Structure 1
Amino acid sequence: MGKVLVIDDDRTIRMLLKLILNKAGHVVLEAFDAKTGLSVAEIESPDLILLDLMLPDINGLNLLNAIKSNEWLKKIPIIVLTGSTDQENKLVALRSGAVDFITKPFLHEEVLLRVNTQLKLHSLINSLENAVSHLEKDLMAASRIQKSLIPSYPPEGYFDEIHWIYEPSHKVGGDIFDIIPIDDNSVLLYVADIAGHGVNAAMLSVIVHRFIEDYCDNHPDFELSNFMLELDRNFRFNDFTLFFTITAALFHRESKTLELTNAGHPAPLLIKDDMLELKEPAESIIGIDMLEGNTKCYTISPGARLFLYTDGVTEAANDRGQLFGSERLMKSLFEQRNFQLKEQLENVFNKLKTFTGNNEFEDDISIIGIQF
């Protein structure tokens, strides 16, 4: 049942509508002119307004426009009461935001049918808006959780410099990365990208992050191949209905070697005097039981820079549907190679924003740069 405000200067009409609506269980409020009607609406916040277009103080259409311009009242549905020959005003009222009209003289059944229909629609709209509001709060919470997992500062002693750009999408995605010391000589770097968007992807990224932390804590004899096989065993698509890609690299400080593995993720980039795309090894994505645990070692020369990134960077599109692409990313990084690492990343990120023409991205943007 709803709260209905009747605004009509004809006392007989108000009494008749009140009788009809009260009998159906609705609460009826009355106003005999526009000024009183607007005041009652602001105080009582009715669920529905029945508005006569012929009022003694203000034209009903002007009151309709005033209500629809009011931030607190504009969502209230309004049914206009009109004479049978008032066709033009009916159309103007509907164009101004009225949801329906009732022609005088009216039938009891027609009044109830139109009022009940609009009250049901209004209730459904309110329920939908509340659900969307709760969902938005959930997404905001998921986004905050994601951001809290990104390392606040890198471990010291393993690299000359390390910086990153991390820009979560407005949809909440599933990028996650970390730098985890294994022992005094070696450190694990990884970047993972959970497929899809929304709370499910965000929460799976949290679970993956936690799993990797625990695994590193409990395996002092850490081996990169076994680590990847264990990931694949524990995050099967059948259990989570989501898969993810990951690049993981184990850097050994004394030998200056980088042991690399890649499960369906964009290939890391290594820059010194030229650009090298580390395409090997290339493994299957995590979760479909096709991983072999292959790794490859690369010798790292002093001053070299390694870049790990997610496909949100290369698949960012402009308004013509063109992708930023890996070639454009490599060219941008190489052109900026003589800048300080942090400035290099910021310049490339600004190029990405200029290319897309947007500060909001459809997918998470993650780029991690390491200088050895």
Structure 2
Amino acid sequence: MTAATTELTAAARILVVDDVEANRDLLARRLQRQGHVVEMAENGQEALDKVRVGAWDLVLLDVMMPVLDGIGALTAIKDNTATRHIPVIMISANTEMETVVKCIELGADDYLPKPFDPVLLRARVGASLEKKRLRDREQARAKRMEKDLEVGARIQRDFLPECLPAVPGYEFAARFEPAREVGGDFYDAFRLSDGAVVMVLGDVCDKGVGAALFMALFRSLIRAVSGSQLGGEGVDTTRALESRVLHAVTVTNDYIANTHGRTNMFATLFVGALDPGSGTVAYVNGGHEPPRVLGAGGGIRALLPPTGPAVGMLPEIPFSTGHLVLAPGETLVVLTDGVTESRAPSGRLLGDDATDALLAAPGDSGDTLLQRLLDAVHTHADGEAAADDVTLLAVRRLP
């Protein structure tokens, strides 16, 4: 006997509800001969009392009963989130078909006419139990998936930096809100042995588990490759920083494209390297939303447009570098398009202009600035579920 056959013929707990003792006894005996465990109730109220305290696979419910009839009992069962999943077969005389139709509309799974035909009884009870077991398996699988996603979300949070670098004269801040349990956005900031600080913010295409797996791969590659010692004596700071970020992005791009090209997964990516002494930031912007450079007194001093395409699309793609100098009081803000493309219930996007206006207003700190922008995203969405991950990273050179 197969596992599926065993499941369908396994004993079920069935509640028979009928105010006529002869009917209850007849149904109970026939169901017990089929191998089921049967209990009985004389009216709808007694049935509800039993349903609320026990685990049932099926209820056979008479339509016409004293105290509480079948319609009242059925309505109470289906209105209760704890019991609405229990299948209910209505017991009816042929003269009660209009009432049976109403019961089906209220959520009953089937009906059984009187007098009881043993073949029809077996067939309809078997069909209802099969549907119940299928639903139970689906719910169990959904719970397992939910648990797996919770574990995945915890693991993904562990990939993000536990704390941002503490660099004298600078303040770092970040925010991360995935649209689902796991997301494709990521950020990182870490200090190297030579004192440079690497800042990364990426947005992997697609959403969900696949994007989260590639997020971990992109983040790990960038972190591993960024520590490579490049250049040598006589190379100026800016060129050394540019070589570092260009090497990190190029190696990551070629690995993803050559090893995982068939998955068609790529990421828009900003990788910057900061020299704290001079405030110089060298960067590669691989198809990412342009970061904003905020002036010391407010306003947006510069945008940093892409210096190459998204990372991981094709091997040996040429990337170029850019650089800037953060003056005292200035802030570099990197964000994903989950900010600018945040949707209101009407469908209106937050947009670049509103984002820039929020960033241009003076702020006491980078942390305050990012929280203000995140609060604006929430306000704009007005309770609507986010369609995309929202990630923000800022570095401010203190006045």
* TM-score, normalised relative to structure 2: 0.84
- Indicate which of 105, 111, 115 corresponds to 1:101: 111
Give matches, 1:265-344, under 5 Å: 265-272=288-295, 274-289=300-315, 291-334=317-360, 336-344=361-369
Q: 1:89 to 1:359 in 2, by over 3 A?
A: closer
> Contact (CA 8 Å) 1:249, 1:259: kept in 2 or not?
yes
Work out the CA distance in 2 between the residues paired with 1:284 and 1:172.
Answer: 21
1:258 aligns with 281
**CA displacement at 1:137 relative to structure 2:** 1.5
The match for 2:172 is 162
* Residue-pair matches, total: 370
Alpha-carbon spacing, 1:294–1:25, altered in 2? closer, same or farther (3 Å): same
How far residue 196 of structure 1 moved from its aligned partner, in angstroms, is: 1.9
- Summarize deviations over 1:251-275 as a string: whole Å, max 9, x none: 1233432111011211111121643
Deviation at 1:341, TM superposition (A): 2.6
SS in 1 for 2:95: coil
**Alpha-carbon contact 1:6-1:49 (below 8 Å) kept:** yes
Equivalences for residues 110-259 of structure 1 within 5 A: 110-157=120-167, 159-217=169-227, 219-221=228-230, 223-236=244-257, 237-238=260-261, 240-259=263-282
1:366 aligns with 2:391: yes
* Structure 1 partner of 2:77: 67
The one-letter amino acid of 1:98's match is: A
CA drift of 1:151 comes to: 2.3
- Is this contact kept in 2: 1:324–1:355, CA < 8 A? yes
Q: Deviations over 1:332-359 (max 9, x none)?
A: 211x235433222222222222112127
CA contact (8 A) 2:18 2:24 kept: yes
1:78-119 per-position Cα deviation (integer Å, ceiling 9, x unaligned): 111011111332133223332221221242222222222211
Aligned equivalent of 2:17: 7
- After TM superposition, the score normalised by the length of structure 1 is 0.90
In structure 2, do the counterparts of structure 1 residues 160 and 254 end up closer, same or farther at CA, with 3 Å as the change threshold?
Answer: closer
Percent same amino acid among aligned pairs? 25
Q: Report the alpha carbon displacement of residue 128 of structure 1 after superposing the two structures with TM.
A: 1.2
Query: Residue 27 of structure 2 corresponds to which residue in structure 1?
Result: 17
Give the letter aligned to residue 45 of structure 1: A
In structure 1, stretches of 5+ residues that fail to align are none
Kept in 2, the 8 Å contact 1:159–1:370? The answer is no
Tell me, in whole angstroms, the C-alpha distance in 2 between the residues paired with 1:86 and 1:280. 72
Whole-Å separation in 2 of the counterparts to 1:42 and 1:284: 57
Query: Which has the higher mean CA deviation after the structures are superposed, 220-229 or 170-179?
Result: 220-229
Residue 79 of structure 1 is aligned with which of 89, 95, 111?
A: 89
Offset at residue 23 of structure 1 (A): 4.1
Separation in structure 1 between the aligned mates of residue 169 and residue 217 of structure 2, nearest angstrom: 28
Q: Is the 8 A contact 1:171 1:363 kept in 2?
A: no
Structure 2: 5+ residue stretches without partners: 1-9, 231-242
CA contact (8 A) 1:164 1:369 kept: yes
